[in-house]
Amino acid sequence: MLKTFSLGGIHPPENKFSAGKKIEVLPVPAQVAVPIAQHIGAPAIPVVAKGDVVKVGTLLAKSVGFVSTNIHSPVSGSLLKIDDVLDSSGYRKSTIIIKVEGDEWEESIDRSTQLKKEITASSEEIIKTIANAGIVGLGGATFPSHVKLSVPPGKTCDILIINAVECEPYLTADHQLMLEKGHEIMVGTQIFMKALKVDKAIIAIENNKQDAIKHLQSLSSAYPGISIEPLKVQYPQGGEKQLIDACIKRQIPSGKLPIEVGTVVQNVGTTVAVYEAVQKNKPLFERVVTVTGKSMTKPSNFLARIGTPISSLIEAAGGLPEDTGKIVGGGPMMGKALVNTDIPITKGSSGILIIKNEESKRKPVQNCIRCGKCITVCPMGLEPYLLMTVSDKAMYDIAEERRIMDCIECGSCSYTCPSSRPLLDYIRLGKGKVGQIMRSRTK
């Protein structure tokens, strides 16, 4: 029996059309738009000004405070302006616009493809390099990686988990990365292990990626301490809490972080970025993005520079179909609907999903029939039907007592509801309110 998490979960159709498609390097566009807030935490402060000439890898914006990170230039060229531009959230955010001229990289970046296995940097140096390189969780959460690696005093970490489950339907970026960058993932994992001073690491992969499991298993013998863990296919296994539960049977208590149960989770894409940062001195300015959808003629995996407009990626994947009704940044379960095709790729862009018009609209909402399926599928053991009602009726004390803040917004309840009720929409509203109330209480 393969392991999986203990509560709830769903198994939507996988639809991994781009599986097995080699990662193609996307040509550098004529112009890029690089938002200064691509991560959770404080937006970076620009250190360049209009007219400046930058190279690939030049620092554009500097992190402020601990939970924040640097932004580097993904292209070489001259800085046109710093302007407010629509991003994937649908809001206008401060963005650095660069006109591309040639493709000149900073000399400090080692562009050779040769594998560098030996890790010379110390634990502290590794964490510093990761912070400087602007690395964030590439699974989509975009939490600055160095923060996770800095174990707070009094806490200990005894095992590292690499999140390679890619449980979102459609997405294949991590899958393809494992097939093509196996060694880099192994060395990257060892870098994490050194930074955290642990001797055990698990690379968790869902069982629908047999080729990746076999490939990494064949490599793992050369890298002591790293084991490959195939997991049962179940959404939302890529959620940090669910993944830790699935791999090592430890459940994070309400409101706590993974370090509470002695572990740290890093995404597999992040692992490759960390390898490149520590061993090759390359900051994070490009990433693998899946472009897919039922109506796409050429579902693909691209290596794209940050700031590339999604229209370039869609064009490279066969163009936008006529009957497109929705464009999602990320996977279908947790991704965000995008407002237009000028939105730039950011560090958190794992995929672009094109949804046909007929599948883009929600079905009409019906009465709750009290079937209880939302409770059955909730991976956090919550009561979505009740949280929706109390959020709607502004009964926030009950919402808090019924642990609304534990919701990880995976969407399993809304996905499952036979009456097509917008459960998660209301729970999000309730979470916002309850969060406000809780913060005002501590003040």
Partner 1 sequence: MNTLTISPSPHIHSGDSVKKNMYGVVIALVPALLISFYNFGLGAFVVTATAVISCMLFEHLIQVYLMKQQTTIWDGSAMITGLLLAFNIPSNLPIFIIVIGALVSIGIGKMSFGGLGNNPFNPALVGRVFLLISFPVQMTSWPAPNVLPFTYTDVITSATPLSVMKEAIASGELPTNVLDQIPSYRDMFLGLQGGSAGEMAGIAILLGLGFMLFRKIVTWHIPTAVIASVFVFTGILHYTNPMMYAPPMFHILSGGLFLGAVFMATDYSSSPMSKKGGIIFGIGIGVITVAIRVFGAYPEGISFAILIMNAFVPLIDKYIKPKRFGEKPAFAK
Binding residues for partner 1 restricted to 307-336, rule: CB under 8 A: 320, 322-328, 332-336
Given a contact cutoff of 8 angstroms between Cβ atoms, the answer to whether 394 and 404 are in contact is: no
- 161 sits near partner 1 (criterion: CB under 8 A): no
- 294 sits near partner 1 (criterion: CB under 8 A): no
DSSP states of 310-329 as a string? HHHHHHHTT---TTEEEEEE
Residue 267 CB: number of other CB atoms within 10 A?
Answer: 25
Nearer to partner 1, 40 or 121 (CB): 40
- 406 sits near partner 1 (criterion: CB under 8 A): yes
432: exposed, middle or buried (Cβ count in 10 Å: 0-12, 13-18, 19+) = exposed
- 382 sits near partner 1 (criterion: CB under 8 A): yes
- 246 sits near partner 1 (criterion: CB under 8 A): no
Q: How far is the CB of 310 from partner 1 (least distance, A)?
A: 12
**Radius of gyration for the alpha carbons in the chain, expressed in angstroms and rounded:** 21
Nearer to partner 1, 349 or 414 (CB): 414
Site for partner 1 in 162-221 (CB under 8 A): 169
Place of tokens 């097939």: 179
- 16 sits near partner 1 (criterion: CB under 8 A): no
Given a contact cutoff of 8 angstroms between Cβ atoms, the answer to whether 178 and 162 are in contact is: no
Taking the C-alpha atoms of residue 220 and residue 203, their distance in angstroms, rounded to an integer, is 10
Given the rule CB under 8 A, which of 44-52, 104-112, 126-134, 361-369 is the region that contacts partner 1? 361-369
Per the DSSP assignment, residues forming a β-bridge with 86 are: 92
Nearer to partner 1, 222 or 369 (CB): 369
Given a contact cutoff of 8 angstroms between Cβ atoms, the answer to whether 282 and 198 are in contact is: no
- 417 sits near partner 1 (criterion: CB under 8 A): yes
- 262 sits near partner 1 (criterion: CB under 8 A): yes
Give the one residue of 357, 392, 393, 432 binding partner 1; rule: CB under 8 A.
357
Nearer to partner 1, 61 or 244 (CB): 244
The site string for partner 1 over 98-137 (x = CB under 8 A, - otherwise) reads ----------------------------------------
Nearer to partner 1, 232 or 402 (CB): 402
Q: How far is the CB of 151 from partner 1 (least distance, A)?
A: 15
Taking the C-alpha atoms of residue 240 and residue 343, their distance in angstroms, rounded to an integer, is 28
The site string for partner 1 over 423-442 (x = CB under 8 A, - otherwise) reads -xx--x--------------
End-to-end CA distance of the chain: 49
Give the one residue of 383, 395, 405, 435 binding partner 1; rule: CB under 8 A.
383
Place of tokens 């090592």: 248
DSSP states of 180-242 as a string? H-HHHHHHHHHHHHHHHT-S-EEEEEETT-HHHHHHHHHHHTTSTTEEEEEE---BTTTSHHH
- 233 sits near partner 1 (criterion: CB under 8 A): no
- 409 sits near partner 1 (criterion: CB under 8 A): yes
